[in-house]
Structures are given as structure tokens and as C-alpha cells.
Amino acid sequence: MTKCFGIVSYLPEEDRRQARSRRMERLTNLLKQLEQLWPTVDILIIAQNWKDYQLPEIKNKIVVDSYSNALGIVGARNKLRLKFLDSDYDYLILLDDDAHIYCKSAEVANQYMEEIDKHKDGFCFIQDPFNRHWHEMDEYIQAPLNLCAISKYICAQEEIPNTRLEYNEALEDDIYAVLLHIKYPENEFIPPDNIYCDHFVPNQYMLSYTCPDQVWPSTWFKNTKSQMSVIFSNTKTILDFIVIHKRLPNITKTFSGTIWIDE
């Protein structure tokens, strides 16, 4: 089966944290990792506000769909989804632009791709090797869309939930992971051990497993306890609904980020 990596990327303006330059560094490192681990797999990128960013020279074919304006996290994810559905690829492997892949060996990297080939209409999320689950149905790494492999069949069934993290609404990636887990259990498969992703680490509410002192500026996180409290509360409410009803709820949003749901 033909596979591609799909990356959503937004490069913020430079600030006192050197947010833009550090984000560019993170993205460049990720692309070089993909070349090292899977040099023959194409890469699709939804690029926002790139301006002067220059792609590194790597062996992988890279297709960039550029936008000068910010699409938002969900907007970018669904642009990528539509681009994939309109392509000839069979599988999409998702990554955020601040992801860092931990892979024990080239053999494990090959096993990951081989496992995908065994499941024509399947999907998988990387299991959290540290068992840091904040919801009973959320068994995956933080930022679970990193290295999520999703077939064209499953991708066509479900859009990315329109819960906007940048507006303190809910974690769309956790919601999507649990939604697929609950609705399509027969299509889910388990990837090999010894491969996972780390990502941006704001503070103690989202700890890194391997490098908690390594902080990469976020494009959405404002570093407030109340912000995370609202986001986690909203997300839990939605996940609880999915577990019971096996679908997304209807969601009413407020300017403060609080949500209400109904059937």
C-alpha cells in the first residue's frame, strides 16, 4: 500500500521566546528524521505563515500546500484530510510540526510500516508506554495524532472534530482518537513497541516523557492553569459522551471556551 506522511505546520511570528526560529528548527529536525527512518515515503504539508522558511534537502518527495493566513488547528487538519482523500495514497500518517520521533531501530521502523500493510482499512495510534492516561478510554500518547496511521476508508468516515484548541474548547486530537477507537474497534490495530513521539511541552500539565526541561514554544498555549482546566474539562465531557453514545455530541460553544453538549 502507498503511504504518505501528513504534517500540519504553522510558524508564528518571532517573539522574545524565539518562537518562530525554534519552531522552524523543530520542523527541520522532524523532516530529517523522516528521511533517516523512511526515505521513500512522500510527505504532504499544510503550511501556514511559512514566509522565508526553507525546506531542508532530503530524499523524500515533499508536497507543500501553502497558506498565508492561519487556518487554525482543525482547519489545517481537515485541509490535509481532504488533500489525502483526493490523492492516490492508501494511508496517511499524521504528524505535528513540533513532533520528535523516538524509534529504537531501523528494524522497528520497518515493522511499523509492515504492520500498516496488514490492515487495508485500519488505523492505529501509538500506545503510551508510560501509562499516563487522564481518561479511561484514552490509552495513547499525548498529542495522539502523532504517528497515527489512518487508512483512506477510515479517514473518509470521520472529519476532525471542530473543537478549537486555540479558543480553549477541547483537545481535538484526543477526541478523534477515542471516537475512532469506540466507533471502529474492528479496524484498529496495535503498532509495534519501541516507537513513539514526544512533542511540545508547556508545563507540568503536559509533561514530556524523556526531556521535561526541553520546552518548545507553542502556537496556541498561553501557559495558564485555568486554560488547561477548561480544556481538560470540556474534553472529558465530550469523551464521556462518545463512550456512552458512540458518536460525537452536538456542541454549543461560548466565548470563554466553556461548552455545552446535547444529543
| Per-residue pLDDT at 217 | 54
DSSP string, 20-83: HHHHHHHHHHHHHHHHHH-TTSEEEEEEES-TT------SS-EEEEEESS---HHHHHHHHHHH
pTM of the predicted structure, to 2 decimals: 0.88
The two beta strands, 123-124 and 62-67, are unpaired
Q: Sketch the domain layout of the chain as residue ranges.
A: 3-262
Query: 92 or 210, which is more confident?
Result: 92
- The Cα–Cα gap between 145 and 142 comes to 9
| Residue range 230-248, pLDDT digits in tens | 888 889 989 999 999 999 9
| Residue range 139-190, pLDDT digits in tens | 788 889 999 999 999 999 999 998 888 788 889 999 999 999 999 999 999 9
| Residue range 119-137, pLDDT digits in tens | 999 999 998 876 666 566 6
Of 3.30.1360, 3.90.550, 1.10.3470, 1.10.287, the CATH number of 3-262 is 3.90.550
**147 close to 93: Cβ distance less than 8 angstroms:** yes
| Per-residue pLDDT at 203 | 41
**99 close to 196: Cβ distance less than 8 angstroms:** no
| Residue range 47-90, pLDDT digits in tens | 999 998 999 999 999 999 999 877 888 999 999 999 999 999 99
| Per-residue pLDDT at 202 | 44
| Per-residue pLDDT at 204 | 38
**177 close to 145: Cβ distance less than 8 angstroms:** yes
Amino acid sitting at position 131: N
